[in-house]
Amino acid sequence: MPDLTMRPLFLPTARQLNWLLIVAFLSLGEALYLRYMAIENVTVSLACQAGRDTWLCGTIRLTIVLFTYEVFGAVALAAALLNLLRPSLVLVTVALAAVSFGVVLHNADLSALAAGVLILSLARPPPTTG
């Protein structure tokens, strides 16, 4: 006779959920800061293009390179797909941070797909131990 009992779903504990909320809001805040206070700010952008060498200009250059190759969306989708196959708090954290950066920094196509996969992964059973 087959076992008809439902396996519990992958559901973070309250402490893990607090960690996920902190990571999500911090990464979303950093992405918004980079986009609106640095990349789209004319004064800062022109100063960086003129050759200013500060940590903010280096961060802008790195962000633009990562955006150009759609790294935010690719990392988000890879982490979300891995989390769909094998649920893990670390993969959820990486995917959530990458989705936040990707959606804000115009990598919305892959990041939105990753967000959907991440939501689907919550319906998966947790990994069995032993």
What is the per-residue pLDDT across 22-56, written as a single tens digit (0 to 9) for each? 999 999 999 999 999 999 999 999 999 999 999 99
Residue 1 clears pLDDT 60, i.e. is over it: no
Distance CA 17, CA 23 (A): 10
Element containing residue 103 per DSSP (H, E) = helix 89-104
Which two structure tokens, joined as six digits, stand for 111?
């990041």
> In this model, does residue 13 exceed pLDDT 70?
yes
Is pLDDT above 70 for 8? no
Residues 92-108 have pLDDT tens digits of: 999 999 999 999 998 89
pLDDT at residue 118 in the model: 93
Look at residue 129 in the predicted model and tell me its pLDDT: 66
* pTM above threshold 0.75: yes
Confidence (pLDDT) at 102: 95
User: Which whole number is the average pLDDT over 61-81?
Assistant: 95
Burial readout 48-64 (b: 16 or more C-beta within 10 A, e: otherwise): beeeeeeeebebbeebe
